[in-house]
A = this chain, B = another copy of it.
Amino acid sequence: MPRKIRNTLALALLGLLLERPMHPYEMASTLRERYKGSTFKINPGSLYDTVEALAKHRWIEPVETVREGNRPERTVYAHTELGRQEFVAWLDELVREPVAEYPKFVAAVSYLGALGPDRAADALEERARHLAERIDGAETALAETVGKGAPRLFMIEVEFVRHAWQAELDWARRTAAEIRSGSLPWPDHF
């Protein structure tokens, strides 16, 4: 038995199966429908790998194989009691304990010096514009969904990323301004 599952896609799938049994392809399309395509990386290869891993750990299990027309059988999975317990425990831990995550932007910022002050400020300003667009997009998605009468909790992660992007945007603008004004000194040997 391979070691415990870490892949967050597994969390998404488990969460879905707590609602009702589904077959793999349906899990993917349901997630996309619910705007979760930007929260979880949904990729066919990983999807089927993950379903298998979940089954091997007995967090989910096949409940039936249906056949429509003469297409290959689709296996429908449901969560197990063990699966429900692990889901909640995992979730709890993920919320409580921040873990290291190495985002690409932080990596890049750590070598910002190599761009030289002008190009660095340009790049940060461009990023700020992109972030502003994304924030708009999140805003729209939120308004739409709440407009349809869905509870706020349904899109709570979008509220979070909007907030996080806003903070990143503020930093990018502020830092670009500091570079432009010369108040962030630039060592020569870069």
Contacts and interface: CB of A to CB of B under 8 A. Distances in A.
Contacts of A96: 123, 126-127, 130
Contacts of A82: none
A140 interface: no
- Number of this chain's copies in the assembly equals 2
A151 B188 CA distance: 11
A11 B123 CA distance: 17
A63 interface: no
Interface string A100-137: 11111111111111110001100110110011001000
> Helix, strand, loop or mixed for chain A's interface?
helix
B105 A98 contact: yes
A1 interface: no
A130 to B, nearest CB: 5
B15 A111 contact: yes
28 contacts: A8-B102, A11-B107, A12-B111, A18-B114, A39-B107, A91-B108, A91-B115, A92-B119, A94-B108, A96-B123, A96-B126, A96-B127, A97-B130, A98-B105, A98-B134, A101-B101, A103-B103, A106-B157, A109-B157, A109-B160, A112-B157, A151-B187, A152-B184, A153-B184, A153-B190, A163-B167, A166-B167, A167-B167
A99, A106, A151, A166: most-surrounded residue (chain B CB, <10 A)? A106
